[in-house]
Amino acid sequence: MITLQPLRWGKPYESMELKDVVHFDTGEPIARFGSVGGGIVARDMKRAGNARKALLQHSPDELLSMCKKAAELFESADLPVGDSTQSVDQFVHQQSASTGLPEHMCRSNMKKNGFVLANMEEILQCLTRGLDLSILSRGYGDEGRGVTVSYQAQTPILGAVLPNNSPGVHTLWLPAIPLQVGLALKPGSQEPWTPYRMVSAFIEAGVPREAFGLYPGGHDAGGAIMTKTPRSMIFGSAQTVAQHAGNPKVQAHGPGWSKVILCDDVVDDWELYLDMMVESVLSNSGRSCINCSGIWASRHTREISQAIAERIGSVDVLPPTDPGAQLAAFTVPAMATGTYAMVEQDLAESGVTDMTADYGEKLIEKEHCAYLRPMVVHADSPERGVAMKEYMFPFVSVVECPQAEMLRRIGPTLVGTVLTRDESFIEAAGACTEIDRLNVGPIPTNRLNWLQPHEGNIIDFLFRSRAYQVAELPVGATA
């Protein structure tokens, strides 16, 4: 059985506190990981400067080449992970076994992470608006306009408290390395796989191992990362996001409440967009913040919800190895029962209709895990509570709302796909601060263009643009 031990700035630490990672369906241990407490993390954070120093030994161009190489290794090589050598297939089996994600989804998340890493040069070029990365490295420089520009790194490392069950989010911390910022990561207890394999790939590709800290542990370890690093990201619930709102040191990622909006000029042709809507709801088992949880239109909402229900209502539980598996398990069964109880509460409200009611039981309870089968709900008004809900399974509410009220009522929307030719609405959507990523046209909410920033630009998060003036010193008499 593979054992993953903490990594303290590149050095493995033999933890005495080993915890099991168990198979979601059988409950059998499949791996062990050693954990650390907040004291060890806090201590290491004092030496965070060394991580950046090690990275500064390599130019951004060299690090970008290493990223390319790391991407290749991550996606294809046998890599040292913990006390074992891990093949791609083993990685996929292990990740699926602990997270409950079907294997083909693990592979597609792996591909997504690999893609971002392989294309880091283009991504950074876009995120920096073409800035020469040596300016970030040196702290200042001239872009050729005769004006000094300066970007000061706000932290030697990026801390991250990573989620348990969403292997796709790891794309967000990958840019730190070519930006010469070290990483202190607390892997999720059920998904240590991506961070460990990614760090191994980076090291094998030549990135200095001193740049990496991996700190599996409890809340204590996560808390220490958050409080001791000048810049960190955390993934959690709406409550977690609210807790860190307005804190410039923390980038908090939570529910997305992503939506598709059909405007009056195109809604009569809603069938043209059915595939796009189904993909937005169902992909990755509806687990991501970029999955669509709300479809808003002023009419045809019953037909739209009925049609989506016909497409996804019958999706059933399949073994994780089945290439057709569309549903991920809830590895903590109580989360599924709790979620379902909330859904039942939503359905009790007048004006809310379960359009998937005819497709059988939704809550499937097994001995060690549970599943929730897809649900499509119709809401006759944005007043209904369900209009603002997002759950960790394929769940969408189709909301009837006059177009004139939509942007005022949609609430926070990580990805907003707007379907219209109405220029004034497009302009208004562009100005609507509730929408983070705006898609104009039939782009599924789950398809992200990585050349654009996601929930804030990581460059702005890690660096601060500031003034840097230089003048020659006068020559003194003693010179």
Partner 1 sequence: MSSAQTSISEQVAAAASAARGRLNEHTLKTVHWHFSDETGSPFWLEKKRELNFDPLSDVKSFDDLKKFPLFEDEWLRGGPVDRWVPKGHAGKPVYVFETGGTTGIPKSRMVIEDHWKDYELFSETLPDEHFPRGANWLMLGPSGPRRLRLAVEHLAQHRDGMCFCIDLDPRWVVKLIKKGWMEHLEEYKKHCIDQAVTVLTAGHNIQCMFATPKLLESLGDALEDRGTSLQEVGIKGIFSGGTEFTPQWTRFCVEELLGGPVEEGGVFMTPTYGNTLMGLACSKPITAADEYKISYYAPQPRAVTEVVEFEDYNQVVGYGQTGRVKLYTLTDEFFVPGFMERDEGEREAPFDTYPWDGVSGVRPFHEIASGTTVGVY
Chain residues in the site for partner 1 (CB under 8 A): 15-17, 36-40, 42-43, 46, 220, 223, 226-227, 239, 243, 247
Q: What are phi and psi of 411, to 5 degrees?
A: 75, -175
- The beta-strand segments (E) located in 57-198 are 79-81, 84-86, 140-142, 148-153, 157-161, 182-186
In the complex, least distance from residue 389 CB atom to partner 1, rounded to whole angstroms: 22
In the complex, least distance from residue 227 CB atom to partner 1, rounded to whole angstroms: 5
- The beta-strand segments (E) located in 127-274 are 140-142, 148-153, 157-161, 182-186, 212-214, 232-235, 250-253, 258-262
- The beta-strand segments (E) located in 220-337 are 232-235, 250-253, 258-262, 292-297
CB 127 within 8 A of CB 175: yes
Place of tokens 């598709």: 260
- Cβ closest to partner 1, residue 37 vs residue 230: 37
Closest C-alpha among 465, 382, 477, 475 to residue 152: 465
Give residues with Cβ within 8 angstroms of 172, minimum separation 6.
160, 233, 253, 454, 455, 458
In the complex, least distance from residue 239 CB atom to partner 1, rounded to whole angstroms: 7
- Cβ closest to partner 1, residue 225 vs residue 295: 225
In the complex, least distance from residue 159 CB atom to partner 1, rounded to whole angstroms: 13
Task: State how beta strands 395-400 and 292-297 pair.
Answer: parallel
Closest C-alpha among 65, 86, 58, 83 to residue 74: 86
- Cβ closest to partner 1, residue 15 vs residue 331: 15
- Cβ closest to partner 1, residue 45 vs residue 295: 45
- Cβ closest to partner 1, residue 332 vs residue 440: 332
In the complex, least distance from residue 249 CB atom to partner 1, rounded to whole angstroms: 9
In the complex, least distance from residue 410 CB atom to partner 1, rounded to whole angstroms: 26
- Cβ closest to partner 1, residue 12 vs residue 37: 37
- Cβ closest to partner 1, residue 36 vs residue 71: 36
In the complex, least distance from residue 34 CB atom to partner 1, rounded to whole angstroms: 9
Closest C-alpha among 33, 321, 332 to residue 195: 33
Type of residue found at 11: K
Torsion sign (Cα): 295, 387, 365, 334? positive
